Amino acid sequence: MDVTVTVNGETYEREVEPRKLLIHFLRDDLDLTGSHIGCDTGNCGACSVIVDGTLLKSCMLLAVQADGSSIETVEGLGEDGELTRLQRAFNEHHALQCGYCTPGMLMSATALLRENPSPSEDEIKKALQGNICRCTGYWNIVEAVKSVADA
Amino acid sequence: MADAGASSIMSETTLAPAPVEVQKGWGGQSVKRKEDKRLLQGEGVFVDDVKRHGMGYLHFVRSPYAHAHITRIDVSAAEAIDGVYGTLTGEEVAALTDPFFQISSAPGANIKDYSLAVGKVRYVGEPVVAVVAETRELARDASELVEVDYEPLDALVDARRAQDLGAPVLHDDAGGNLMWTGLYSWGDLESAFAEADRVVKIPELHFHRFNSTPLECDGALVEFNRGVGQWTIHTNNQFPGFAAIMMGPAMKVGLDKLRFVTQDIGGGFGNKITSHPQLVVCCLLARKLNRPVQWTEWRTDFHLSMSHGNERWFHDTEVAVKEDGTLLGFRTKALDDAGAWLRYEPLGGVIWAQVTPGMYRWRHIELEFTQVATNKAPVSPNRGYSRMQHLWFTERVMDIVAHELGLDPVEVRKRNYIRAEDMPYETPNGCVYDSGDYAAMLDLALELVGYDSMAGRRADAEARGKRLGVGIGSTLDSGTNNFGQSRLINPELQFSGNNEVATVKLDIFGEIVVTLGTTPQGQGHETTAAQVVADILGCSPDDVHVRAGHDSYWNSHAGFSGTYASQFAVTGLSAVKGATEMLAAEIKKLAGAVFGGVPEEALELADGGVRIKDNPDAFLPFMACGAIINANNAGLPEDLDVTLNCRYVYRPPFEVPDVEKKFGNLTLTYAAQIHVAVVEVDLETGSYEIVDYAAVDDCGKRINPQIVEGQVMGATAQALGAAVHETFEYDEDGNLLTPNFYDYHVPHALDMPPLATGAIESPSPFTPLGTKGMGEGGGAGIHAICAAIQDATGQVVTDSHNPFQRVWELMQR
Amino acid sequence: MLLREVEYAKPGSVAEALQLLAANEGARALAGGQTLVNVMKARAASPDMLVDLNGLEELRGVELAGDGTLTIGAMTTYTELMRSAEAKARPILGEVCATIADVQVRNRGTIGGNVCSNDPTNHLPPLMVAVGARMTIVGADGEREVPAEEFFLGVYLTAVGPGELLTRISVPAGKKDGFAAVTLGAEGTCICNAAATVNGSVRVALGCVDAVPVLVTADSAGGVADAVRAANLMPPSDVHASSAYRTHLAAVLATRAAEEATAR
Amino acid sequence: MNVSGERTFAAPRDTVWHVLNDPASMAKTMPGVESFDIHDDKRWTANVKIPLGLGGLKMKVDMEKVEEREPEFAKLAVKGNGVGAIMNMMTSFTLADAAGGATSMAWAAEVKILGPVGSMGQRVLQPIVNQQVQHVLTALDGQVQEAMGKTA
């Protein structure tokens, strides 16, 4: 089937099998390998992307279901290669180690901050509940997000 | 587990460092990581990101049986599909390769381990056939058409039954399920029991099966260069040096035919050391099909088949103690469940001995170690490898003794801890603890959880129908192996010592380029290496380009290169230091000549160049140095022996251990962590929350405190997950009941308790930078939770895994 | 990952969806897909055709009638329900939804999908039974309404038959509700749960103790534990909990849910 | 997992025995049977689609009568092969005369399910198995009554 999507402002048209998951479509067909795969049960959130303004796990969506939608991935964060405040905060607070969960973590935190610019610590944890990190224990990630929350 | 309170999530407390020379400069600063930018922008290159024209995707047909004969394999239907490139079966593997070299002495030495099941399957999920096709989906479709007939056999799931008469036997070649056994005995245990006031007996303790489940699973993209007969293996294997010596002989090729390339690795924790069987399959298929072969392991595949941590039982433990809680010695029988294959085992049978007495001064110890095979996934190193199991045992003994004698666990520990003034301390088996002050660490940890206020908090919890418990977990992180310890397992082995390599060069435009032999998985090697280089060359870490990842073509690897066993801060950074000091000397030698015979001691490196100390105007920037040597060298003195491209191999000072006495120094450094956990148990349900937590670390000189703290935090989180929820449980038929993140619950953000971290620095007298390897000490969390639950319930805790049901059952006693 | 081949159809109306489902024996409705797609990844199930309901606005939204009855469209997501002003009329609904899985799943997963999958670990089946919800099912022969007690038939099996769709769920007015669960980690996989509602007597529905929610009633919260014991539950054992532990939890959680409901 | 129970049929023992040992009528008792081949009086094969709400689970089921003591006892080995699932079941039943010309059947089955479906956990599988068993027993009742009708 034909699928047309806009990813980070760029429009792509591809022919895909209906069974192809959005995450495979992004990584294998569009070569946007920033979004990752860490499980096969929808638990880990490494594949989290924002579809038409809504944070989703792209491993539980078929590519054909995204037809006509506008998708934001980690590659789209920041302008002309610069880091966003949130990305800089991750660096400042050592909120990443291996970096594999980081793209999904950033998308979840970005979605949170759009809706709630000044989240409490518990709100931050709740917003990151769908993203597994095995390196950091989350403490520094929560600190990083807190540091960019408007006072 | 509990939410963090409203209070600050972390409080960093640092005691004054021990009075020793502390290096000035970049080392010791929390320099922000150089590797972060690409990872934050989704520009990291992980193994599944690597693509090649015409590559085929590999999918494994896996065994649904825990134990069965393979009576027939038919791949014709799969190969008939359009877009299927080919298959590989165990029969072909057996014809094309030799079995993997076995580390074990007999009987384990006799098993025949190939990269695909040959004739028999021995655990659910074992690779039986590999199928390669044009797309990932098609490869899996085709694998469903591979017909395999099995003749099921009884499964052996409980290691305690492995040596029973009539137990199912996994490896006929070994004549039974016993893989390796050895008796370790030091001191004079009988005199200890004679001197003891009490002998505390512990019939059985059990350390459960789990692993660190790195978020990225294993994978590879393998290209075969037919012309030169060489494979390029893009993989996230974290110990290519080990993979190479396993793969080369099996594939009957020289190691230079196996080029390992890695950039970013999505976590390892030891779990990515033993992917060599899958890599061999990829190599054979890349050659057979004459096209690049891509393999990505999915989460369920990983849980079913890869790198479980060693499950271990401790039986018939007897502890010789004085009434006042002084421990004299212990005797125990350790039974280790290796799973179906010895992929890194039976090294676990000696690795524990690096920390034989734990943190305590008892001198009389006897441990009979037995490792058996079972119909479960093969075990392999997992963060804290084999020491974690043993340290959990010594910590359980502390708390059970305290319980039996009615003493305070804090007092019992302080009475028995090896003291700061005893350092360096030689253990009963000849290991040398380099430095540390365990009692001071415990005091700090207790202070961080407000130990003095516990009485009031206990009462408050009671009022809410909860029971509060406090538990201590002390742990050692022995780093930088002496591989000579492998001879205690198998005297025939010709391994000893350790080594690591770095190269540092000044390029034509003065660029400082560093290559490492390691395969970092998030430990920030690019950053800490740059800090060390910057201090020696008198420049900024920003001026230092450390190549990302690993490539065996950089010629910056040695036999033990890799990232494992808490050693980079010692082996890796010492190699960097050595190479950089060579380069610094060469720069001075060159400048001396350029300045017309100025002696080296009159020169200094600073501001990105070299200058004459008492004549700052005489300054030669690195760019000029690089240009002169590389591109403008006419007229240089003939005898000027300078390349500005320096390779250094760091070799720790080790002796070969005494195989007869099983005595000698097995590791170079001993970082320590002491954790204190405060839990609240729901008396009705047995569910509990960790309401307070402190982790204190001492890893000697910290090159980058923020990175060190990150390691402490991550290891702690993994330990808490393992203590409460994470477990690889099998049913009686050998089916894994926790094959994915739905039933294998790893901690999520809401599970994390409030954490206070603290650090003290006791620099190692044995390492060039005063550093100690660290990162594996977090197992302390498991010990601390067990102790806290024992304190809360008043019942002796005998298992390392304490899900709510087990705690509820404890309270039913 | 890597699903088996499947056809995909995106109907523009419920009528069209019903035709597709009726015309293809192997067709299955795709709601949020937060369960179904994962089962398809394991290839434990592989429908021949997915009929994607996500285009059907008529199945979305929450309405509040004058008598306080809530009508929830089957394709309403957890997040939409949590944010719905109308849904506040029965606060427990939003409160429980807020503890299901995580933000991403709540943004896509639907109320209808949750009850139709009827995985024993789901929170909504017992909740729907406790609050006395009624499910509206539409098929070739028109609409029928099934009370929640009769809706859940087995694991992954409900009263929604082949060629039928759940269109909406109506929940009567009420406020005195409670919910209690023991999960694997905070808001993780459910080990046992209980939903209670007080309306004169106490109704408690227990989850994760059988293929379908088990309903017990008592005069007061104090009598709930005995009522649960009298139900002679024989819960399944699994890696997380033995039958005995689940039986014990059922009584404790039922009481806690009932107490919460009574206290409102 | 093990399931067992007892059931009484309002029919004489030989009628029940006949039904239980007639592949054709057994086929009618099994859930979602799509096709059925009888190899001999001891071995038969069925292609079934076990109805799960998430989409049926296709399986090729081979049955073999491994023990038989007419008219009271029989034991069947059942082996189901499906993609993502392997089912091994050993089931047996014992018939005895009950009051009023009825027949009581004590039955037991040991079921093992392997593969991804198995990994879905007993929490899910045990209820499914129980439910399928009930389905079979009810259908069996129907078959017995039908046989009674024929003989009447």
Q: Is C47 on the interface with A (CB under 8 A)?
A: no
- Residue C67: pLDDT band with limits 50, 70, 90: very high
Burial class of residue A143 (count of CB atoms within 10 Å of its CB; 0-12, 13-18, 19+): buried
Predicted pLDDT of residue C22 = 94
Residues of chain B with Cβ-Cβ distance to A14 below 8 Å are none
Q: What is the DSSP letter of A27?
A: I
Q: What is the mean pLDDT of chain C?
A: 96
Find the mean pLDDT for residues D8-22: 89
CB proximity list for B675: less than 8 A, separation 6 or greater: B445, B472, B473, B474, B475, B693, B694, B695, B696, B716, B719, B778, B780, B781, B783, B784
Compute how many other C-beta atoms are within 10 angstroms of the C-beta atom of residue D29. Answer: 19
Whether B208 is in a domain gets the answer no
The token duo for B669 is 């450094």
Question: Where a domain ends, among B650, B675, B699?
Answer: B650
Residue D141 has a pLDDT of 87
Q: Examine the pLDDT at C76 and tell me if it is beyond 70.
A: yes
CB within 8 Å of chain A, chain B residues 103-162: 136-137
pLDDT at position B120, please? Answer: 98
Q: Can you say whether the dihedral through the CA atoms of C20, C21, C27, C33 is positive or negative?
A: positive
Residues B290 and B361 both lie in one domain: no
Domain coordinates of chain C in residue numbers? 7-53, 60-171, 177-263
Q: Do chains A and D touch (3 or more CB pairs under 8 A)?
A: no
Does B324 reside within a domain? yes
Asked if the domains at C7-53 and C60-171 fall in one CATH topology, the answer is no
Is B199 contained in some domain?
A: no
Structural domains in chain B (count): 3
Predicted pLDDT of residue B694: 98
DSSP C207-238: ESSSSS-EEEEESSHHHHHHHHHHTT--PPP-
Closest C-alpha to C149, from C207, C213, C198: C213
Q: Tell me which residue in C186, C252, C253 faces B751 most closely, judged by beta carbons.
A: C186
Q: Which of B622, B650, B678 is the last residue of a domain?
A: B650
CATH class of C7-53: alpha beta
From B39, B215, B716, residue closest to A134, measured CB to CB: B215
The radius of gyration of chain C from alpha carbons, rounded to an integer in Å, stands at 18
Mark the ranges of chain B whose per-residue pLDDT is less than 50. Answer: 1-23
> Do residue C42 and residue B300 have CB atoms under 8 angstroms apart?
yes
| Gap from D29 CA to chain C (nearest CA, Å) | 19
pTM for the whole structure: 0.95
| Residue recorded with tokens 């102790």 | B787
In a domain, B685, yes or no: yes
Q: What chain B residue is nearest to D82 in terms of C-alpha separation?
A: B144
Residues of D in contact with B144 (CB under 8 A): 83
Tell me the CATH number at B464: 3.30.365.10
The chains in contact with chain C, meaning 3 or more Cβ pairs closer than 8 Å, are: A, B, D
Q: Which residues contact D82 (CB under 8 A, 6 or more apart)?
A: D57, D58, D59, D60, D115, D117
- DSSP, collapsed to helix, strand or coil, labels residue D14 as helix
Q: Which residues contact C171 (CB under 8 A, 6 or more apart)?
A: C69, C70, C71, C72, C90, C93, C128, C131, C132, C133
The CATH 3.10.20.30 domain(s) of chain A lie at: 2-75
**What angle in degrees, to the nearest 10, is found between the helix axes of B573-594 and B525-537?**
30
Chain B residue at shortest CA distance from D122:
B737
C-beta atoms surrounding A16 within 10 Å: 20
- Chain D residue with minimum CA distance to B738: D119
All residues of chain C having their beta carbon less than 8 Å from the beta carbon of residue D131 are 154-155, 157, 211
Which residue out of C156, C160, C184 would a mutagenesis test of the D interface target, given it has the greatest number of D Cβ atoms within 10 Å?
Answer: C156
Whole-number Å distance between alpha carbons of C201 and A14 = 59
What pLDDT is recorded for position B136? Answer: 96
% of chain C exceeding 70 in pLDDT: 100
- Compute the distance between CA of residue B23 and CA of residue B618 in angstroms, rounded to an integer: 28
Contact B737 D121 (CB under 8 A): yes
List the subunits that have 3+ CB pairs under 8 angstroms with B. Answer: A, C, D
**CATH dotted code for C60-171:** 3.30.465.10
Q: What is the pLDDT of residues C158-192, one digit of tens each?
A: 999 989 999 999 999 999 999 999 999 999 999 99
CATH 3.30.530.20 fits D2-151, yes or no: yes
Whether residue B669 lies inside any domain: the answer is: yes
- CATH, range C177-263: 3.30.390.50
The C residues from 90 to 119 touching D (CB cutoff 8 Å) are 116-119
Where do the structural domains in chain D lie, given as residue ranges? Answer: 2-151
Q: What is the CATH number of the domain that holds B228?
A: 3.90.1170.50
For residues C155 and D131, give the distance between their C-alpha atoms in angstroms, rounded to a whole number.
9
D121 pLDDT band (50/70/90 cuts)? Answer: low
Both B430 and B508 in one domain: the answer is no
Q: How close is the nearest chain C Cα to the Cα of B3, in Å?
A: 9
Confidence of residue A20 (pLDDT cuts 50, 70, 90): very high
CB contact at 8 A, A32 and A97: no
- For chain C positions 8-27, those within 8 Å of chain A (CB to CB) are 8
Per-residue confidence (pLDDT) for residue B437, from 0 to 100: 98
CATH number of A2-75: 3.10.20.30
pLDDT of residue D152: 53
Least confident of A58-72, A82-96, B728-742, C137-151: B728-742
Domain span at B539: 499-547+561-650
Average model confidence (pLDDT) for chain A? 97
Average pLDDT over residues C14-20: 97
Residues in chain D: 152
pLDDT of residue D83: 67
**ipTM value > 0.85:** yes
List CB contacts (< 8 A) between A24 and chain B.
136
The pLDDT, as a whole number, for residue D138 is 86
Chain D residues with beta carbon closer than 8 angstroms to that of C155? 52-53, 124, 127-128, 131
B65 within some domain: yes
Whether residue B25 sits in one domain with residue B70: no
Coil, strand or helix at B611:
strand
Superfamily (CATH H level) for A85-148: [2Fe-2S]-binding domain (1.10.150.120)
Give me A102's structure tokens.
Answer: 């980081």
